[in-house]
A and B are shown apart, each in its own frame.
Chain A
Amino acid sequence: MRLLLTTLIALPLATGALAQNDCANGLTLEDGKLTIATGNPAYYPWVMDDAPESKQGFEAAVAYAVANEMGFSDDQVVWVRSSFDEAIQPGAKNFDFNLQQYSITPERDEIVDFSVPYYSAAMAVLTRAPVVEGGAEATIDSLKGLIWGADANTTAVPMLGEVIAPEKDPLLYGDNTDVVEAMKANQIDAALFDLPTALYLSAVVLDDGVILGQFPAERSESPDSFGLLFEEGNPLKSCVDTALNALKADGRLAAIEAEWLSETTGVPVIE
């Protein structure tokens, strides 16, 4: 009788404890593990020192917050690396979700699934001091006359055409490093990046980098929002969305953003 009583009392507690884990139960690649993919390499300030397991950096911190919210301990998080192409190719994936500043677009959504957004990025104009000394200003008219570059795999490419419509055809590159290389070689005047990336490149990679200004996220018709990427139809999505929404609701996501991306305030807005 006592045993039964204890059981009856313990049951709701136990189920309560289980409830946190429930939604991910049996839906991950490996039971009891959450496999998260990021870029190779992963860049500051999204992941510090290319070491996501250190939980340092905005995306690393978000990943652990989501994992904890879903009931996974830090130890249960497994990191893998993937390229953009690996993320979108058909077939089984080696990750539960993938985060590396994937902008959510309707076209991409047909092939893969995205979580609710975890960050809305402003686009920023990265340039070099000599270009500013040469008279480049943070106005659309002035920007039109520059020679532009961008990372070909980002939504900066369509944005360039829509918002700035440069006079000369932009030059496109395979990754950040090549864009910066072209900038150093003076082959391009300016490049469009999401603001945190632009800040990083300007402060750390370029000697004479300047952020000329930003296009706030609200400005473009479809704001550039980053989502976690899933294999199309992955049932884990609703569980992750719930976790993300909870993080948003009580301000924890905003706190992570404030910790890692605080510098993004104070960059002039381009009208």
Chain B
Amino acid sequence: MALTRRQAYEARVKRRSTTIAAGSTLAVIVATLILVPLAPGWPAVKKSFFNAEVFADTFPGLLNAFLLDVAIFAWSAPLIFVLGLLVALARDVRAPAAYPLRLFAIVYTDIFRGVPVILVIYLVGFGIPGLGLPRPWNSPYIWGTVALVLTYAAYVAEVFRTGIESIHQSQRAAAASLGLSEADTMRYVILPQAIRKVVPANMNLFIALQKDVALLSFIGPVEIFRQAGVYKSLMANFTPYVGAALIFLAITIPATRYADYLLAKQRRARS
């Protein structure tokens, strides 16, 4: 089928811009590959950071240690989701008797969004077991998880709250006019819409969580970051950190792309 004049023109323009984009990308890559090794310190950097032998020796151990990161993420994420939701709901409660609950929710989100995660992990991970809890209740896995959950639930609660507030008042009015209670309105009308709306924002938080799981290593668990540190220390070589970074990227890049895709889809749906 013959192209219209417009189509032919557009195809030409597209071909040209593709060529230019490919050409410039290639030029940047080639320049990097040629110029960086010319730097005087490159052989030393290569030996310390990009050492193939060290990489091959340590990568399986790093992968194995990463399973602990995945496990900690897997049991923290649902807890964060639930606690974040409860805190967001507590902030929405209007009954005067529940005012202390609301106040608590506000103070809670303010504090845990304002303190670095690592501090919370130290304070909760060492401090609470230090009160004299018996085993196994003093485990750093438990209290490290508590620290992560407390911190991330504060962020997730804010995201949920934004979602709840973004649902138009007319939805509440419609539900009320049908005689639904406030609790049922929240549960069946507002929340399902709000939660869906904030999926991309929450995904970004959970990607950050997957990375911050590594901070638990400060209180003992030998996850990938700590394992890489042990290798680094034994071999006086930073290559294991590069290996760990690659493993993280293998998870976080696809997840980030997916979150962006969801966000773009939502934006299209709204317009």
Contact with B along A144-167 (1 / 0, CB 8 A): 000001001111011000000000
* A82-109 interface (Cβ within 8 A of B): 84-85, 88-91, 105, 107-108
User: What chain A residues lie within 8 Å of B49 (beta carbons)?
Assistant: 90
Contacts A186-B135, A186-B138, A187-B138 given; indicate if A174 touches B235 (C-beta within 8 A).
Answer: no
Query: How many angstroms from the CA of A200 to the CA of B234 in the assembled complex?
Result: 24
Contacts A185-B138, A187-B139 given; indicate if A157 touches B238 (C-beta within 8 A).
Answer: no
B234 touches A107 (CB 8 A): yes
B234 touches A155 (CB 8 A): yes
Query: How many angstroms from the CA of A108 to the CA of B130 in the assembled complex?
Result: 36
Q: Which of B47, B48, B233 gathers the greatest number of chain A CB atoms within 10 Å?
A: B233
User: What chain B residues lie within 8 Å of A256 (beta carbons)?
Assistant: none
B238 touches A89 (CB 8 A): yes
B129 touches A186 (CB 8 A): yes
Contacts A88-B236, A152-B233 given; indicate if A111 touches B129 (C-beta within 8 A).
Answer: no
Partner of B220, one of A85, A88, A154, A173: A173
User: What chain B residues lie within 8 Å of A188 (beta carbons)?
Assistant: 220
A105 touches B234 (CB 8 A): yes
Could you tell me the distance in whole angstroms from the C-beta of B192 to the nearest C-beta in chain A?
A: 42
User: What chain B residues lie within 8 Å of A187 (beta carbons)?
Assistant: 129, 138-140, 219-220
Query: How many angstroms from the CA of A88 to the CA of B229 in the assembled complex?
Result: 13
Query: How many angstroms from the CA of A178 to the CA of B139 in the assembled complex?
Result: 15
Query: How many angstroms from the CA of A91 to the CA of B43 in the assembled complex?
Result: 10
Query: How many angstroms from the CA of A88 to the CA of B236 in the assembled complex?
Result: 6
Partner of B236, one of A112, A171, A173, A182: A112
A158 touches B220 (CB 8 A): no
Contacts A89-B238, A108-B235, A169-B222 given; indicate if A185 touches B47 (C-beta within 8 A).
Answer: no
Interface size in chain B (residues, C-beta < 8 A) = 31
Query: How many angstroms from the CA of A91 to the CA of B40 in the assembled complex?
Result: 10
Contacts A152-B230, A184-B130, A186-B138 given; indicate if A88 touches B221 (C-beta within 8 A).
Answer: no
B219 touches A182 (CB 8 A): yes
Could you tell me the distance in whole angstroms from the C-beta of A24 to the nearest C-beta in chain B?
A: 24
A153 touches B229 (CB 8 A): yes
Contacts A88-B236, A152-B230, A185-B129 given; indicate if A111 touches B47 (C-beta within 8 A).
Answer: yes
Could you tell me the distance in whole angstroms from the C-beta of A192 to the nearest C-beta in chain B?
A: 13
Query: How many angstroms from the CA of A66 to the CA of B47 in the assembled complex?
Result: 31
Contacts A181-B126, A187-B138, A188-B220 given; indicate if A90 touches B44 (C-beta within 8 A).
Answer: yes
B234 touches A157 (CB 8 A): yes
Contact with B along A103-121 (1 / 0, CB 8 A): 0010110111000000000
Which A residue's beta carbon lies closest to that of B221? A171
Query: How many angstroms from the CA of A186 to the CA of B136 in the assembled complex?
Result: 10
User: What chain B residues lie within 8 Å of A108 (beta carbons)?
Assistant: 234-236
Q: Is A170 part of the binding interface, using a Cβ–Cβ cutoff of 8 Å?
A: yes
* B210-255 interface (Cβ within 8 A of A): 217-222, 226, 229-230, 232-238
Partner of A154, one of B48, B138, B233, B238: B233
Q: Which of A108, A111, A170, A232 gathers the greatest number of chain B CB atoms within 10 Å?
A: A111
B222 touches A171 (CB 8 A): yes
B220 touches A111 (CB 8 A): no
Query: How many angstroms from the CA of A84 to the CA of B135 in the assembled complex?
Result: 34
* 21 A–B contacts, CB within 8 A, in A order: A85-B238, A88-B238, A107-B236, A110-B237, A111-B47, A111-B236, A152-B222, A152-B226, A152-B229, A169-B222, A171-B140, A171-B220, A172-B217, A172-B220, A172-B229, A172-B230, A178-B126, A178-B218, A182-B126, A186-B138, A187-B140
Please name the 3 residue pairs, one residue from A and one from B, whose CB atoms are nearest each other, closest first.
A171-B220, A90-B44, A108-B236
